[in-house]
């Protein structure tokens, strides 16, 4: 009998602990990241992209080793990239710079990985840009001055 009581008391104690750690009740104004009611349609704040001209931008840190570098300069004059026009290539396709020390103000050369058909012939650097790498801004994006919506605890080794 005593054992049974002890077990009940323990269960009650656990329940009480559980209750104190329960998630706060959901309200329509704390369900989303906007921190306003989900029924409101707030006007989003305006954030700005860098307007630094190419050649004046400071290279940005990479998120992790092997991550596509972020675009440090203004891109509005070069967008959109279409089948007929890709201005990114005009400045960045410079295979003659491979293996050379990067120089400030000079467009970083599109690397050999982008001239390699990783699916069919990995390891073979061709003499042309592979189509899968044509749409630069699919992977390389500029950054705005928007603060992170949620604190990010991701950490990586510094790559440069």
Binding site for ligand HEC (CB under 6 A): 54-57, 59, 66, 68-69, 71-73, 75, 78-79, 87-92, 105-108, 110-111, 113-114, 129, 133-140
**Closer to ligand HEC by Cβ: residue 27 or 76:** 76
How many angstroms separate the CA atoms of 77 and 63, rounded?
26
Rounded alpha-carbon distances, angstroms, from residue 143 to 6, 16, 48, 50, 140: 59, 47, 8, 7, 10
Q: How far is the CB of 147 from ligand HEC (least distance, A)?
A: 22
Q: How far is the CB of 97 from ligand HEC (least distance, A)?
A: 9
**Closer to ligand HEC by Cβ: residue 37 or 95:** 95
Residue with tokens 């690397």: 111
Q: How far is the CB of 11 from ligand HEC (least distance, A)?
A: 54
Burial category of 110 from C-beta neighbours within 10 Å (exposed 0-12, middle 13-18, buried 19 and up): buried
């Amino acid at each position: 009998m005593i054992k049974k009581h002890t077990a009940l008391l323990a269960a009650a104690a656990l329940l009480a602990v559980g209750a104190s750690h329960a998630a706060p009740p959901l309200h329509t104004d704390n369900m989303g990241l906007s921190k306003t009611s989900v029924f409101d349609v707030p006007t989003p704040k305006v954030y700005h992209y860098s307007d630094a001209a190419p050649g004046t931008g400071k290279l940005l840190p990479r998120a992790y080793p092997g991550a596509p570098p972020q675009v440090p300069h203004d891109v509005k004059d070069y967008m959109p990239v279409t089948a007929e026009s890709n201005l990114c290539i005009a400045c960045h396709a410079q295979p003659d710079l491979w293996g050379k020390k990067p120089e400030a103000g000079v467009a970083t050369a599109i690397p050999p990985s982008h001239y390699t058909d990783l699916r069919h012939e990995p390891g073979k650097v061709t003499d042309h840009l592979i189509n899968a790498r044509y749409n630069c801004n699919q992977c390389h994006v500029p950054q705005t001055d928007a603060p992170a919506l949620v604190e990010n605890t991701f950490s990586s080794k510094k790559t440069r």
